[in-house]
Amino acid sequence: MAAPSTPNLNSILLFASLTKAEREDLARQCRFRNYGSGEHIIDSQSLSRDVYFVVSGVVRVVNYSASGREIAFDDIPAGGFFGELSALDGAPRSAYVQAQCEVAVAAAMPYEIFLDLLANKPELSLEIMKRLARMVRQSTERIMDLSTLGANNRIHAELLRQAWAATADGKTASIAPIPLHSDIAGRVSTTRETVARVLNDLARAGIVERRKDVLHVNDIGRLSLLVEEVRGYF
């Protein structure tokens, strides 16, 4: 996938409320660049403060344990953005961000432009606050899962999160592409072998089913019960 012939920010969801002229003005103040699969866009602990907008492709937010094991935090598709934390507080980057496809296109916006935009566009500031609130809630949920759930149930909880993000009817979901065992393991702090075993158990129970490049969740309700019963919601 090649970079757009005329770089623009029209696909960025945060800017949906801006006029075309406003988006064009912002695009002129950004640096657009292509990234190959696996290439780092930002490095943890770097002092850069630019905010990045994903024009095409998918990028992943990751970090590494002392032993070198990759821990994935989030995948950000086209239309999303990242890097706002350092822009807001001036602290070093807290994670690595790398391209997840052959060519990802990202636009780097200087933090001064980003902060000025928030100061003059209250609706964008509100969207940023909502995003930060979601991040806090998700982090709290993950901390609780790591503290209270066994490895099997942490895998169930991660699949449930992905299923809710991919469902159209609240009953079934098609997660595509199929999540790698190593990705799930990194997200819930377990091993690939454990992930493989749990997925096989779920498949035998008829809760999930592998279809070509899609992991189909046949029954979100049953998967929810596996998580909620252990969390003590009942």
Q: 151-191: per-residue pLDDT in tens?
A: 999 999 999 999 998 999 999 999 988 888 988 998 888 98
Same structural domain for residues 32 and 105? yes
**Residues whose CB is less than 8 angstroms from the CB of residue 219 and which lie 6 or more positions away in sequence, other chains included:** 171, 172, 206, 207
User: Residue 17: what pLDDT?
Assistant: 95
Same domain membership, residue 106 and residue 22: yes
- Number of domains observed in the structure of the chain: 2
Indicate whether 216 belongs to any domain.
yes
pLDDT for 69 equals 78
Say whether pLDDT at 5 is over 80: no
Q: What is the chain's mean pLDDT, rounded? A: 91
Asked if residues 99 and 34 have their Cβ atoms less than 8 Å apart, the reply is no
> Do residue 107 and residue 176 come from a single domain?
no
* pLDDT tier, 81 (very low <50, low <70, confident <90, very high otherwise): very high
Write down the pLDDT at residue 1.
43
Residue 135 lies in a domain: no
Two tokens, residue 55: 């024009």
- Under the banding of pLDDT at 50, 70 and 90, the label for residue 96 is very high
Question: Do 22 and 74 fall within a single domain?
Answer: yes
Q: Is residue 2 part of a domain?
A: no
Distance CA 95, CA 31 (A): 21
Q: What is the pTM of this model?
A: 0.80
Does position 216 have pLDDT exceeding 90, yes or no? Answer: yes
CB 31, CB 108: distance < 8 Å: yes
Residues 88 and 170 in one domain: no
The answer to whether the CB of 50 falls within 8 A of the CB of 109 is: yes
End of a domain among 102, 121, 140?
A: 121
pLDDT at position 232 is 60
% pLDDT > 90, the chain? 71
Residue 147 has pLDDT above 50, yes or no: yes
pLDDT of residue 4: 47
Type and span of the H or E element at 116: helix 111-120
pLDDT at 2: 45
Range of the domain at 35: 13-121
- pLDDT, mean of residues 115-142: 94
pLDDT for 220? 96
Q: What is the DSSP letter of 167?
A: B
Closest C-alpha to 108, from 7, 1, 2, 39: 7
Dump pLDDT digits (tens) for 9-33: 999 999 999 999 999 999 999 999 9
